Structure 1
Amino acid sequence: MSLYAVVDPKSGEVVREYPTATDEQIEEALASAAAAFRNWSKTSTLADRTALIRRVAALHTERREKLAEIINREMGKPLDQALGEVDFSAAIYEYYADNAEKFLADEPIELLDGDGSAVIKRGPVGVLLGIMPWNYPYYQVARFAGPNLTLGNTIVLKHAPQCPESAEAIQQIFDDAGYPAGAYVNVYATNEQIADAIADPRVQGVSLTGSERAGAAVAEIAGRNLKKVVLELGGSDPFIVLSSDDLDATVEAAMAGRFENTGQACNAAKRFIVSADLYDDFLDKFTKKVVEAADGLAPLSSLGAAQRLAEQIDRAVADGANLVSEGKRDGAYFPPGVLTGVTPDSATYREELFGPVAMVFKVGSEDEAVELANDIPFGLGSYVFTTDEEQAKRVADKIDAGMVFVNVVGADGVELPFGGVKRSGFGRELGRFGIDEFVNKKLIRIG
């Protein structure tokens, strides 16, 4: 089977295969992107570029049903969530069309000594390479391409091998929106070809969303070649419950935080850390909801994803953890479950579970909750539920993460920066910060 292929996770059927790029095609893509940067990005105005990205948003909206069907077929995303992803992607493009002028405005600097003036002018840096994952095929591209194309950078993009059809649909949108050849170029590249592309002097920066292993490999090559990288490498986000005046509502929030995209979200709640006085009731209510979720649950993205999750769960149980679940794995379908008794001695304790299984822990104090929340190599998102406003602020300050959400889940927004610390990566996407990563902040000092 080809490296790039649509394999329906519901049936395992190979729907369509796509040819992997030749070395000549990769060279053509890089040359085209470099030429577009020299020409289009230097001659187009910000108004030109915002008009183009606004058209990209409109085309996502016009084609939303077709786009949603594609990723339902590619990676099993339920149609309602797939439509939501397309709409959110359109909103990202629209956001940068609306706000680019403000974000990219000249920034005067007040001089401490001497006459004259100084100003920071923000401009593009050149060709950027994007390496995208399968779990959010449109959204991941939007938060990378939206700000950078508006800024004037050009993009070569490698999508996940299981998402060639959505990659093709995105390329068609940029073409139909009126972007010149080379401004946005999709490539069905191998890892070896991408390694060479990172080292290519025409490429000025790399953005990757993926695994720790992939992030380390990309960062190593980029570092040797003095290229800036933005990495989003996943997480095992804590969901801390310290108090509640409506435990049923808190449990519903926990379900929403864990099971969006069948549990295959980098910033999903994965470790539930519950105060001892609420633990028994929370665990009982939560476990019942999790088991009930088996009816109508979508498959994981692939058979391989289900196999990897099964290995992690089996290891945890072998190490003494308790699993409550009903049903058995059937191909890419994975029965939801709750793990308790996972100890620091088990490797699973510090791993990311990418699927519909939650770990639940009991703690006796606020300090113990924070310590357990931070006792992992990741630091992407986190959730704190408490009725005490001062406690919420105190705990949020102590959590080692790039994002903290208090008494709310699903509150991501186009205006909110997304990113993490520790082994969850570095750099930010979305909002004002998303357009400020691959930018030349040029100082102009006039005497």
Structure 2
Amino acid sequence: MTLREINFDGIIGPSHNYAGLSQGNLASARNARLVSQPRAAALQGVEKMRHNLRLGLAQGAFMPLPRPNRGWLAALGTDVENAPDSIRPAAFSASAMWAANAATVSPAPDTADGRCHLTVANLRTMPHRSHEWPDTLAQLRLAFADESAFAVHAPVPGTFGDEGAANHMRLCASHGAPGVEVFVYGERGGAFPARQHVEASRAIARLHGLDADRTLFAAQSEEAIAAGAFHNDVVAVANENVLFAHELAFADKGALYADLRRLMPEVEIVEVPASAVSLADAVASYLFNAQLVSLPEGGMALILPEEARETPAVWSWLQDMVAGNGPIRQLLIVDVRQSMSNGGGPACLRLRVVADPSSVDQRFMMDEAKLDRVAGVIASHWPEQIAPEDLRDPALWRQMEQAREALFRELRLNELL
């Protein structure tokens, strides 16, 4: 079995709109009620996947969830025609595009039974995301159906909020080697909610059969959450032996860094000082919501949004970093502006799974030809734009549902319809 890191990107759904539903997500709030461009958004996502394929990385995709979510509305005693304004926008949310929140993943080298474990996130903190998990679970159980290689768990009980891999980091000598798993949780966030509960993280570590001596739990700093770092991946990202983090990411960085160096002497910590890049600039640019990847030819690259290049303090610091002798050698830019405007950067759009690609249901694995087919469906079926008042239009509801059905039929995923 050849283990590789596979990035599964969420295909941006045809209901992509700016409803400003995510408290604590500054971009979501700032762009609330603007006109969105679902077709452009989804095509930007496809181009990001194509960009990564051309780097030689393994690439998969997850499908949009059913929107409007008629089943969820029915459970609330209403329907899409009569839903009150207090819940209607949540039924249309396309936030499942941010696949980093789909699940927490522990690769086979870290688990007691030698399988890759995935626990679907309950996302209970935000109403518009709390109804994602049943459809996400069905999709993951199909994509990772090989029970000799994978164990897919239902969410931890909604008693404790879990936001998935956006609050989880793994450090290792190489993707296929045993790692140190770091679960980051929130305690306080000023005016904003702390979304990841430590008890959810501890439960997932137990469910995955992780070695307690190689599992760490670290609190996010209250300052970071209050600045808009609603998930850890807005202020820190890890890849193999490198941790790339803002100086103010963690409540007790000294203890975390010491534990990492004790457990993994080869760890390299690349810290961005607050004096060079403020939390405000880090959050606005999504500097840390980049994909930090290992390139097939060696070395690491940061796959960054355009906004990072357009933020002077961020780009200046990055230029100085790659001019030095550190582990991150390349800066690669992708255009994900539609996702960024709703509060998610390149890293939000993907779930990292270390596995043998041949063990995955191949309908979820992407290549250039398959991406061409996906782009063709998007260009033909996705709405060009959605204004807030359009969510009341039955013709748009039908277009959204027919667009999703066309994509699933193109990829022969009919059992998920």
Query: What is the TM-score of this pair, normalised by structure 1?
Result: 0.26
Q: Which has the higher contact order (CA 8 A, sep 6+)?
A: 2
**Which is higher, the Rg of structure 1 or of structure 2?**
1
Q: Which has the higher helix share?
A: 1
Query: What is the TM-score of this pair, normalised by structure 2?
Result: 0.27
